[in-house]
Amino acid sequence: MKVPEEIVELIRREQYFTIASHINPEGDALGASLALALALRLLHKDVRVFNSDGVPYMYNFLPSSDLVETGMDRERLKNSVLIVLDCNDLERVGLKDVECKKIVVIDHHQTVTDFGHIRWIEPESPAAGLMIYNLIRELEVEINREMAVNLYTAIAVDTGTFRYENTTPEVLRAAAELVDAGVNPGEVSQRLYESWSVNKFRLFVSMLKTVEIVHTGNINSAIATITLDMFKETGADASDTENFINFPRMIESVDISAMFREVESGCWKASLRSKGNCDVSLIASHFGGGGHKNAAGYKVCGDIGDVKKGLIEAIHDSVAAR
Ligand SMILES: [Mn+2]
């Protein structure tokens, strides 16, 4: 992975930075943002971290997570470099327009837009956190324990803690360095996988009851639904659903796991995960969404029966196209 010289130079030259990541942030967005912020601070830069949704409860353990602000200081932004992380447009950041000195996009999602003055997109990188790890090294900042926990968590979340196909030798080498820098992998795993609230567990149980297995040609899909009512009944919230989609993938015969989460009455965020060669980014792009081969998503409004039918048809077409 080659860090663009332009970005290194820009960081050395400029003084004011705002780091922003996507709405509904998970470990990669937050960990990458916080690690970069900590590194920039060591370089005596003035840096703010923005996320419109803030830090979900389960990520409170990330060192310096209290740096994340949910409000944007627009006056200050005018003289700042805006670094957009783990996404590549303003809509994903939850902003309509910005006035700033320069926009740098650092992301590992395939993209078609040309938003930003400097774009560093690595679709092959398993996590934005791995790109930031390389950037921090390029900046010649020594990675301390605080940065390391953030980076390790970012990489762990996007590789299913080193279980997915994106777990490359480079990922494992970076992880080893981060453990050397003070990360306790057992502790991070416990925070990520064994720290659920009772409400979250209840929502999980209700989600499992909705799972349907659908056969389309030689593709088996598990489709789950989470409605606004289910959130109300269990007291859980949207951030609690992170990772739920990976559970139906445990079924050996399942190729695609899909989850429809109701975001407002009758409108759904569809998440898709697949195993092996089954490319769900093609299916998502059919609905105006996007993502990677094995993880993608889109938004859709309508009756849940109809939106499920639409998905099944799209899976059917993508099978036929192969
Ligand atoms: Mn990511």
DSSP secondary structure string for all residues of 236-305: --GGGGTTGGGSGGGSTT-SEEEEEEEEETTEEEEEEEE-TT--HHHHHHHTT-EE-SSEEEEEEES-HH
In the DSSP assignment, the letter for residue 16 is E
**Owning domain of residue 300:** 198-321
Give which of 28, 29, 78 is closest to 50, Cα–Cα: 29
Indicate whether 185 and 209 sit together in one domain: no
pLDDT at 321: 67
Rounded to the nearest angstrom, the distance between the alpha carbon of 147 and the centre of ligand 1 is 17
Q: Which CATH number do you get for residue 30? A: 3.90.1640.10
Rounded to the nearest angstrom, the distance between the alpha carbon of 288 and the centre of ligand 1 is 19
Indicate whether 138 and 26 sit together in one domain: yes
Q: Which of the listed residues 162, 193, 224 is the one where a domain comes to its end? A: 193
Q: Which of the listed residues 139, 160, 193 is the one where a domain comes to its end? A: 193
Rounded to the nearest angstrom, the distance between the alpha carbon of 293 and the centre of ligand 1 is 14
Indicate whether 161 and 142 sit together in one domain: yes
pLDDT at 316: 93
Indicate whether 152 and 225 sit together in one domain: no
Rounded to the nearest angstrom, the distance between the alpha carbon of 173 and the centre of ligand 1 is 18
Indicate whether 76 and 91 sit together in one domain: yes
pLDDT at 322: 63
Indicate whether 227 and 301 sit together in one domain: yes
Rounded to the nearest angstrom, the distance between the alpha carbon of 28 and the centre of ligand 1 is 5
Rounded to the nearest angstrom, the distance between the alpha carbon of 241 and the centre of ligand 1 is 16
Indicate whether 172 and 221 sit together in one domain: no
Indicate whether 227 and 89 sit together in one domain: no
Rounded to the nearest angstrom, the distance between the alpha carbon of 200 and the centre of ligand 1 is 22
Rounded to the nearest angstrom, the distance between the alpha carbon of 316 and the centre of ligand 1 is 28
Indicate whether 135 and 171 sit together in one domain: yes
Indicate whether 76 and 139 sit together in one domain: yes
Tally of structural domains, the chain: 2
Rounded to the nearest angstrom, the distance between the alpha carbon of 86 and the centre of ligand 1 is 5
- Please list the rounded mean pLDDT of every run of 10 residues in the chain (322 residues): 97 98 96 98 98 95 98 96 96 94 94 90 96 98 98 97 94 98 98 95 98 94 98 95 93 97 97 92 93 91 98 89 65
Q: Which CATH number do you get for residue 289? A: 3.10.310.30
Indicate whether 97 and 68 sit together in one domain: yes
Q: Which of the listed residues 171, 193, 215 is the one where a domain comes to its end? A: 193
Q: Would you give the distance in Å from CA 21 to the centre of its chain?
A: 9
Rounded to the nearest angstrom, the distance between the alpha carbon of 224 and the centre of ligand 1 is 22
DSSP for 161-220 reads TTTSTT--HHHHHHHHHHHHTT--HHHHHHHHHS---HHHHHHHHHHHHT-EEEEETTEE
pLDDT at 110: 79
Rounded to the nearest angstrom, the distance between the alpha carbon of 120 and the centre of ligand 1 is 14
Rounded to the nearest angstrom, the distance between the alpha carbon of 305 and the centre of ligand 1 is 30
* Cα dist from 158 to 110, 152, 171, 195, 217, whole Å: 15, 10, 11, 18, 30
Indicate whether 170 and 211 sit together in one domain: no
pLDDT at 217: 87
pLDDT at 17: 98
